[in-house]
């Protein structure tokens, strides 16, 4: 996980049907933790949502053969059940619930040590890549993660 670059996913652990499981380790040190919170570093909730969105995004990209790009449009019923800090290994589960009319909906959750940390329903708009550089970058990162 490289927080400063918004690379929230380290590797794809499993991919089957309409579901994906990815893993990431929260970094031991990051400028994010200097302010969130001094003396008690915690992964910010907004970055947990981003991690679920990226897991869902990689699932959708793979399902579409990397032909189009999913962009996060809505977060519904996000629930934070616990806190996690630096050094924690997380597993993110994402499953496609709906796909059609240029949108896709997923449900995702983050677990650490077998305990549910957060979950949400996410809606994505599916669009053509706005730039060829983005398409190339997504395919390159997809290869690094083990999808292509």
Number of neighbours of residue 2 by Cβ within 10 angstroms: 12
Contact 120, 94 (CB under 8 A): no
DSSP 94-148: EEEEEEETTEEEEEEEEEETTEEEEEEEEEEEEE--SSHHHHHHHHHHHHHHT--
Residue 36: active-site member: yes
Whole-number Å distance between alpha carbons of 146 and 131:
23
Residue of 36, 40, 93, 98 with catalytic role: 36
Q: Is the peptide bond before 37 cis (omega within 30 degrees of 0)?
A: yes
Which is nearest to 23 in space by CA: 44, 48, 1, 49? 1
Which sequence positions are flagged as catalytic?
36
């Amino acid at each position: 996980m490289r927080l400063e670059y918004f690379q929230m996913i380290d590797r794809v652990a499993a991919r089957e049907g309409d579901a994906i499981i990815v893993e990431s380790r929260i970094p031991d040190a990051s400028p994010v933790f200097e302010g969130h919170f001094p003396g008690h570093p915690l992964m910010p909730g907004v970055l947990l949502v981003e991690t679920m969105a990226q897991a869902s995004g990689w699932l959708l990209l793979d399902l579409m053969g990397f032909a189009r790009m999913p962009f996060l449009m809505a977060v519904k019923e996000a629930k934070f059940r616990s806190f996690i800090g630096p050094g924690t290994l997380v597993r993110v589960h994402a499953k496609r619930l709906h796909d059609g009319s240029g949108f896709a909906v997923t449900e995702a959750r983050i677990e650490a040590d077998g305990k549910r940390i957060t979950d949400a329903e996410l809606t994505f708009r599916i669009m053509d890549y706005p730039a060829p550089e983005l398409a190339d970058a997504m395919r390159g990162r997809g290869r690094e993660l083990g999808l292509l």
